[in-house]
Structure 1
Amino acid sequence: MIDYKKRLTTFRQMNEIDIIDYSIESDRGRILSSAALRRLQKRTQVFALELNASIRSRLTHSIEVAQNARFIAKTILAKLKDEGLDKYGLEELENAFISTAEMTSLLHDIGNPPFGHFAEQTINKWMSKNALPIFEEFEALKDENKKLKEMLSFDLCNYDGNAQALRVIMKLQRMNLSYTQIISVLKYTRGAYEEKPKKDSNLSYVMKKPGFYYSEKDSILKIQEKLGIKAGHRFPITYIMEAADDISYLTADLEDSHEKGILSLKKIYRLITEECKKQEEEYLLKIVEEEYTKAQAGEKPYQFNMFFTIMRARLVGSLVRHVAEVYIQNHEKVFEGSFNSALLEYDEQSKYYKAIKVLQTISTKYIYQNKDVQTLELQSYKIINSLFDNYKPLLELKTEDFLALLEDKKIDCFISMRLIKRISSKQIVAYENDINALDKEDKEAFKILEWYHRVRLIIDYISGMTDDYALEEYKVLSALNK
C-alpha cells in the first residue's frame, strides 16, 4: 500500500521538529547554508580549474538539477490529484514532497571530489596500490577479523561521490537533517563493502554502484528501519532526483563546450542531425532543425542562446512529463524502492530515450574525449596522487602512535606531526567519534577498524578539497619534496 506518511516524516537524530512543514524548512535552511554546498562552486563539472564563471560548476549544475526535480515533483502531484492525494497519504504533504526532491538534488553531488569523476577512479587506484599493502600487515588471527579485514579492503577501494555525500551530511558537516532528507540522497543502495549483484538480480540497477560505506552502515540501516524501507531498496523521491540529474546533462555539456570554443553552433547542429539520422531518431531531429532555422534568422551574437534556450525548454518540458508518467505508472514499485531502472531509461522504445542516447553519444565522442578535457584529467590525476602520497606517512603509523599524535604527544615521525595539523578539526572529530564508538576489548579488531577510519579521515580531507585548494596544496607540498 502506498502511504507517503510513512516516508515523509519528522524523524531525525536530534531535536526532532514535530510539524512536517517546519521540519522540511529546517532541512532547507541547513542545506542552503552548508559550507559543503558552497564548496561546490569551486568543483569541476566537466572542465577542471575553469576561470570562466559562465561555465557550469558542481554548484550551478546542482541548482539546475534542483529546479528540474521541483518541476518533476510538481508534475507528479498534479497528475495524482486526479485520483485524490489522500489515496496516497499525500494530503498536506505536497510541500514536503516537492522540497525533499529539490533539496536532495542540491545535495546529490556534495560528496564529489575535486576534478570530477576522474578523481574517483584515481582515489580507488591509489588505495589499491598504496593503502592495501599497509593493511595487509595488520594481524587478523580470528576468522571474524579476517572477514572484517577483507570486507574493509573492498570498501576502501570503492570510493564514490554518492557514498561520500552521506558521510558529509551525517558526520563531517553533522547537518542533523531529517531521516527523510538523508535517505533520499541514497542513490545506490549497495554498501561499498558488498559485491556488485548479478545483472539478473531484482535490484541490480539500484545496487550497481556503492551507495554508502561501512562507516555509515549502522546509520543507514537505522534510518531504513525507522521509515520502513527494505534493505537494498530506494527511497521513492530518489528516482526523481536521478531523473532531474539525467535531464540536466542533456544540453548542459554542449552549451559549455560552445562557451569554451570546443564546438561551434554550426558543428553542434551538424553533429546532432548526423547522429539522429544514424540512429534513426526523429523527435530530437525535428526540434533541432526547427530551432536552428529560427536561430539562423536572428541577430548573430544571440543565435547560440536562441537555439539552446528554446531547444532546452522544449526538451525539458517533454522529458519532465514523460518521467512523471513513468513514475506514476510504476508507482507501487517506485514507492517500495524496488523499481529497477532509471525513470528516463525504463522505456527504451520511447522517442525520449532515443533522443537522450543521441545527445549522450555526442557528449562522449566530442566533449569527454576532447584532448583539452583529457589533459585536465591527467593533471588532476597527478595532483590527487601526489596529495595522497604526501599524507601516506599518517597511514604508516602504528595505532598507538597515531592516537598519541591526536593528543599532541611527540612521536618519532616528525613529518606526521606536521601533516596532522593541516587536516580540518571537523574531519578529525568525525574520526574520533567513530573510534570512541568501537569495542576496545578485541584489540585485533580495534586496530583493524582504527586504521580503516584513519584512511577515511585522509580521504575525507583530500576529497573535500575544492579544485583550486587541491592545486594549491599540491604546489605547497610538492615544494617540500624538492
Structure 2
Amino acid sequence: MIDYTKKITTDREVNPIDNLDYSIESDRGRIFSAPAFRRLQKRTQVFALELNASIRTRLTHSLEVAQVARFIAKTILAKLKKQGLDTYGLEELENAFVSTAEMTSLLHDIGNPPFGHFAEQTINKWMRDNALPILDAFPSTRPEVQTIKNIIAKDICNYDGNAQAIRVISKLQRLNLSYTQTLAVLKYTRGAYEAKPPKEDSFSYLKKKPGFYYSEASFVEKVQQTLGVEAGHRFPLTYIMEAADDISYLTADLEDAVEKGILSLDQVYDLIKKACESEGEHYLLEIIEDRYRQAKEKEEPYQFNMFFTLIKAKLVTSLVYHVVDIYIKNHQAIFEGSFNCALLDYDTQSKYYKAVKILETLSAKHIYQNREVQTLELQGYTIVNGLLDIYKPLLELSAKDFTKLLQDEKIECFIAMRLIRRISSKQIVAYQADIKTLNPEDSETYNLMERYYRIRLVTDYVSGMTDDFALNEYQTLMAL
C-alpha cells in the first residue's frame, strides 16, 4: 500500500516541529542558510577556477536541478489527482512533496569536494597510499577488532560526494533536517565499507556507489527505521532528484563549452547532427535542426544562447513527462524504494533514452577529454594531493598527543601544533562528538576508531574547501 504519510513526516533528531508545513519551511530555511550550501558557488561543475560568472558552478547547477525537480513533482501530483490524492495519502502533502524534492536537489552536490569527481579519485588514492599503512600498524589481537579494522580500511578508501553529503548534513553542519529531507538525499544505499554487489543483484544500481560512511551508519539506520524504509532501499522522492539531475546535465556542459570557446555553435550542431544520423535517431535530430534554424535567423552575437534555450525548453518538457510516466507506472516499487534503476534509464528503447545517450557521449568525448579540462583536473589532483600530504602529520600522532593538541598543550611535533589551528572548529566539534561515543577502557578499539575519526577529520577539512580556497591554501603552505 502506498501511503506517503508514513514517509513524509515531522520526525527529526532534536526539537521536532509538530506542524508539517512549518517543518518543511524550517528545512528550507536551514538549507539556504547553510555555509556548505553557499560554498557550492565556488565549486567546480566542469571548469575549475572559472572567472566567467556565466559558466555553471555546483550552486547554479543545483538551482537548475531544483527547478526541474519541482516540475517533475508537480506533474506527478497533477496526474495522481485524477485517481485521487487521498489514495496515496497525499491530499495534504502537496507542498511537502514538491518542497522535499526541490530541497533534495539543492543538497545533492553538497558533499562534492573541490575540483569535482577527479578529486574523489585523488582522495581515495591518497588514502590507499598513506592512511592504510597507518591503520595497518594498529594491533588487532581480537577477531572483533580485526573486523572493525577491515571495515574502516575499506571505508576510508571510498570517499564519495554522495556519502559526504550525509555527513555534512548530519554532523559537520548539524542542520538537524527532518528525517524525510535527510533520507531523500541518500542517493545510493550502500555503505562505503560494504562490497559493491554484482550486476545480477536486485539492488545493483541502488548500491553501485557508496551512499554513507561507517561513521554515519547508525544514524542512517535510525532514519530508515523511523520512516519505514528497509535497508538497501531508497526514499521515493530521491528518484525525482536523480531524474532532475540527469535532465539538467543534458545540454549544460555543451552550453558552457561554447561560452568558453572550446566549441562553436556550428560545431555543436554538426556534432549532434552527425551523431543522430549515425545512430538513426530522428527525435533529437528534428529538435536540433528546427532550433538551429530559429537561432541562425537571429543576427545577434548570442545565437548559441537561443539555440540552447530552445532545445532545453523542448527536451526538458518532454523528458519530464517521460519520467513522470515511468514513476507512476512503477509507483509501488518506487514508493518502497526497491526500483533498481534511474528513471531516465528504465526504457532503453525509447527515443528519449537514445537522445540522452547521444548528448552524454558527445560531452564525454568533446568536453571531458578536452585538453584544457584535463589540465584543470591534473591541477586539482596536485592541489588536493598536496594538501593531504601537508596535513598528514596530524594523522601520525598518537591519540594521546592529538588530545593534547586539541587542548592547546605543547607536543613534540611542532608542525602539527600549527596545522591544527587551520582546521575548522565545526569539523573538530564533529570529531570530538564521535570520540565521546567510544569506550576508552577498550584501548585497542578506542585507538583504532579514534584514528578513523581523525582521518575523517582531515578528509572533511580538505574536501570541504572551495576550489579557490584550496588553491590559495596550497600556494600558501607550499610557499609558492
Whether these two folds match at TM > 0.5 is yes
- Give 1:132's aligned amino acid: L
Superimposed CA distance per residue, residues 363-412 of structure 1 (whole angstroms, 9 cap, x where no aligned partner):
00000000000000000000001000000000011111111111111111
Q: Within the alignment, does 1:180 sit opposite 2:147 as a pair?
A: no
Give aligned pairs, total.
Answer: 480
Q: How far 1:300 sits from its partner (Å)?
A: 2.8
Provide the C-alpha distance between the structure 2 equivalents of 1:400 and 1:252, rounded to a whole number of angstroms.
50
TM-score normalized with structure 1 length: 0.99
Q: Within the alignment, does 1:365 sit opposite 2:330 as a pair?
A: no
Q: How far 1:71 sits from its partner (Å)?
A: 0.3
1:153 corresponds in structure 2 to: 153
2:195 corresponds in structure 1 to: 195
2:63 corresponds in structure 1 to: 63
Provide the C-alpha distance between the structure 2 equivalents of 1:279 and 1:146, rounded to a whole number of angstroms.
53
Q: Within the alignment, does 1:255 sit opposite 2:268 as a pair?
A: no
**What secondary structure does 2:211 align onto?**
strand
- Give 2:320's aligned amino acid: V
1:268 corresponds in structure 2 to: 268
1:469 corresponds in structure 2 to: 469
Counting aligned pairs with the same residue, the percent is 68
**What secondary structure does 2:55 align onto?**
coil
- Give 1:429's aligned amino acid: V
2:310 corresponds in structure 1 to: 310
2:204 corresponds in structure 1 to: 204
Unaligned runs of 5+ in 2: none
Provide the C-alpha distance between the structure 1 equivalents of 2:251 and 2:161, rounded to a whole number of angstroms.
23
Provide the C-alpha distance between the structure 1 equivalents of 2:83 and 2:376, rounded to a whole number of angstroms.
52
- Give 2:7's aligned amino acid: R
1:346 corresponds in structure 2 to: 346
**What secondary structure does 2:112 align onto?**
coil
Q: How far 1:280 sits from its partner (Å)?
A: 1.4
Superimposed CA distance per residue, residues 177-217 of structure 1 (whole angstroms, 9 cap, x where no aligned partner):
00000000000000000000111011110000000000000
1:267-286 equivalences under 5 Å are 267-286=267-286
Q: Within the alignment, does 1:48 sit opposite 2:48 as a pair?
A: yes
1:244 corresponds in structure 2 to: 244
RMSD, aligned α-carbons: 0.7
Provide the C-alpha distance between the structure 1 equivalents of 2:403 and 2:411, rounded to a whole number of angstroms.
10
Q: How far 1:305 sits from its partner (Å)?
A: 1.6
**What secondary structure does 1:301 align onto?**
coil
2:162 corresponds in structure 1 to: 162
Provide the C-alpha distance between the structure 2 equivalents of 1:340 and 1:309, rounded to a whole number of angstroms.
32
1:441 corresponds in structure 2 to: 441
Q: How far 1:301 sits from its partner (Å)?
A: 1.4
Provide the C-alpha distance between the structure 1 equivalents of 2:300 and 2:263, rounded to a whole number of angstroms.
16
1:140 corresponds in structure 2 to: 140
- Give 2:177's aligned amino acid: L
Provide the C-alpha distance between the structure 1 equivalents of 2:304 and 2:386, rounded to a whole number of angstroms.
41
- Give 1:304's aligned amino acid: F
Q: How far 1:473 sits from its partner (Å)?
A: 0.3
Q: How far 1:302 sits from its partner (Å)?
A: 3.1
**What secondary structure does 1:211 align onto?**
strand
2:23 corresponds in structure 1 to: 23
**What secondary structure does 2:415 align onto?**
helix
Q: How far 1:273 sits from its partner (Å)?
A: 0.4
Q: How far 1:134 sits from its partner (Å)?
A: 1.1
- Give 1:169's aligned amino acid: I
Provide the C-alpha distance between the structure 2 equivalents of 1:207 and 1:439, rounded to a whole number of angstroms.
32
Q: How far 1:442 sits from its partner (Å)?
A: 1.3
Provide the C-alpha distance between the structure 1 equivalents of 2:416 and 2:304, rounded to a whole number of angstroms.
53
**What secondary structure does 1:236 align onto?**
coil
- Give 1:227's aligned amino acid: L
- Give 1:303's aligned amino acid: Q
1:455 corresponds in structure 2 to: 455
1:356 corresponds in structure 2 to: 356
**What secondary structure does 2:82 align onto?**
coil
Q: How far 1:441 sits from its partner (Å)?
A: 2.4
Larger mean CA deviation between 290-299 and 415-424 belongs to 290-299
Superimposed CA distance per residue, residues 95-152 of structure 1 (whole angstroms, 9 cap, x where no aligned partner):
0000000000000000000000000000000000111111110111100110110110
Provide the C-alpha distance between the structure 1 equivalents of 2:228 and 2:381, rounded to a whole number of angstroms.
42
**What secondary structure does 1:16 align onto?**
coil
Provide the C-alpha distance between the structure 1 equivalents of 2:276 and 2:360, rounded to a whole number of angstroms.
12
- Give 1:271's aligned amino acid: L
Provide the C-alpha distance between the structure 2 equivalents of 1:59 and 1:256, rounded to a whole number of angstroms.
15
Provide the C-alpha distance between the structure 1 equivalents of 2:196 and 2:311, rounded to a whole number of angstroms.
38
- Give 1:306's aligned amino acid: M
TM-score normalized with structure 2 length: 0.99
**What secondary structure does 1:138 align onto?**
coil
Superimposed CA distance per residue, residues 297-328 of structure 1 (whole angstroms, 9 cap, x where no aligned partner):
11231321221111111000000000011000
Q: Within the alignment, does 1:424 sit opposite 2:424 as a pair?
A: yes
Runs of 4+ in 1 over 4 A off after TM superposition: none
2:331 corresponds in structure 1 to: 331
